[in-house]
Structure 1
Amino acid sequence: MSHIAMIPARMGSQRLPKKNLALLDGVPLIVHAIRKCHAAGLFDEVWVNSEHPDFGPIAEAEGARFHRRPEHLGDNNATSEQFVAEFLETHPCEVVYQVHSIAPLLTADELRGFVAEMRSGRHDALMSVVEENLECVFRGEPVNFTFSEKTNSQDLTPVQRIVWAVTAWRRDRYLEAVRTGACATYAGRIGYYPVGRMAGHVIKTQEDLDLAAAVQAARRSRGGASS
């Protein structure tokens, strides 16, 4: 069965209007995501998933397919569990990879590594995480250190922050959880795949977009990887 990429692209957004169409290096974020999925070279199909028809021609022009979800699954009240389930009910596959266009600094190489980990068969759900080698507290209590001594940051056990740049789910396990009323996002055997700190940078505001543009410019100047 197939491994497919699904790029969610809601037209509405509150802090940065039409953020999926916002330009980074002169190219819309949604197009960066489609091209990255193609560059990874590991997906049987690449889909754009939106409630708005304007994304259809964009997907087609970039060699992707378009899934138009019901309009109510594109409003501010819709959850990712709802639109992922609706997509999976329509498209049989073994694994779906949700690749977020608003995390444009995730590289194709990181995406390849993530897919390889999911293909290992060890996970029903795989989350992209950024590992934080810093002292972290929760409700005033230490998580990965102790108040009884000062530890060098490089010696700390890193805290893993789920960043949603890319997430994978086995279709059958996800839909089984939906049917039984369980939380599908975290159903079954969960794995965590570390990505670079910048891969976890999510575009929600103009400031976020400006920072992503600066990072891209820095990567180009030193001949590094881009999105």
Structure 2
Amino acid sequence: MSTTQNNLCIIPARGGSKRIPRKNIKDFLGKPIIAYSIEVALDSGLFSEVMVSTDDEEIAEVAKKYGAKVPFMRTEKTADDFATTMDVLVEVVDKYKKEGKYFKNVCCIYATSPLVSPEILKKSFDVYNEKKFDSLFSVIKYSFPIQRSLSVNDDKITFNYPENANKRSQDLNDSFHDAGQFYWMKENLICKGAVLVTKNTGAYEISELQGQDIDNELDWKLAELKYELLQSIK
């Protein structure tokens, strides 16, 4: 069973999105998309603090409107195109420590994750706790075995793994990819040079309906359709 602990939720939301301008506060079915991540974190009851890490004043105002804290602004170093998620987590955790605030666990939820639910967060936290993982994140199963993936060059097909060309798909192991929604991690493992995936990183599987990477306008529409479908079958 999930129990509220001294957990920090960090929602990274820089202002300089390229492929979808103002992506983090773009309207998603009636409200800014970041609002969904904030509200899910608050509704889960898992966090003693929900904060948004941003370099953008407008995003900061939207975040506060929907209940998140913005205790400090992101530095230029973590707001450029080359900063990683871990860079952001390290900066936030270090700033809290300087203020005398320490947390047991940190959950990073991306600002464009409207399909995450409080139930998913709570169940994933249970798995993370019960199995004593260093970190955990959501994954989605590939719908077709990647062991039978193809390459196309000059319109000609070649198998990436020729040894599997004649194998039945059901005889091949399932493969998964990062759902790009959230990451749980112990705060004491967040430091310069740290990585999200360790030898003790767990997975929480979600369905294709529960996840959608949003990199372009078509992805955005698919995410809206999935959200509406999920709401209709609750």
Which TM class, normalised by the smaller chain length? 0.7 to 0.9
3-state SS of paired residue (2:112): coil
Q: Which runs of structure 2 are paired with 1:99-118 in the superposition (5 Å)?
A: 99-118=109-128
Q: What is the percent sequence identity of the aligned residues?
A: 22
Say if 2:233 is the partner of 1:217. Answer: no
Say if 2:174 is the partner of 1:166. Answer: no
Contact 2:179–2:211 (8 Å) recurs in 1: yes
* Partner deviation per Cα, 1:73-117 (whole Å, 9 max, x = no partner): 112122222111111112221111011121211222112211222
- Tell me how large the CA RMSD over aligned residues is: 2.2
Could you tell me how far apart the structure 2 residues matched to 1:14 and 1:185 are? 24
3-state SS of paired residue (1:46): strand
Contact 1:48–1:65 (8 Å) recurs in 2: yes
3-state SS of paired residue (1:119): helix
Q: Which runs of structure 2 are paired with 1:41-52 in the superposition (5 Å)?
A: 41-52=45-56
2:20 aligned residue: 16
Larger radius of gyration: 2
> Please, which of 121, 137, 145 is the counterpart of residue 135 of structure 1?
145
2:92 aligned residue: 87
Q: Which runs of structure 2 are paired with 1:175-186 in the superposition (5 Å)?
A: 175=191, 178=192, 181=193, 183-186=194-197
3-state SS of paired residue (1:65): coil
Say if 2:168 is the partner of 1:150. Answer: yes
Deviation, 1:169, is 1.2
Say if 2:83 is the partner of 1:78. Answer: yes
Deviation, 1:156, is 4.6
Off by >4 Å, runs of 4+ in structure 1: none
Say if 2:200 is the partner of 1:189. Answer: yes
* Partner deviation per Cα, 1:9-51 (whole Å, 9 max, x = no partner): 1111111001001111111011111011112121111111111
Unaligned runs of 5+ in 1: none
- Match of 2:61, as an amino acid? P
Normalising to structure 1: TM-score of the pair?
0.84
3-state SS of paired residue (2:19): coil
Moved more, 17-26 or 117-126: 117-126
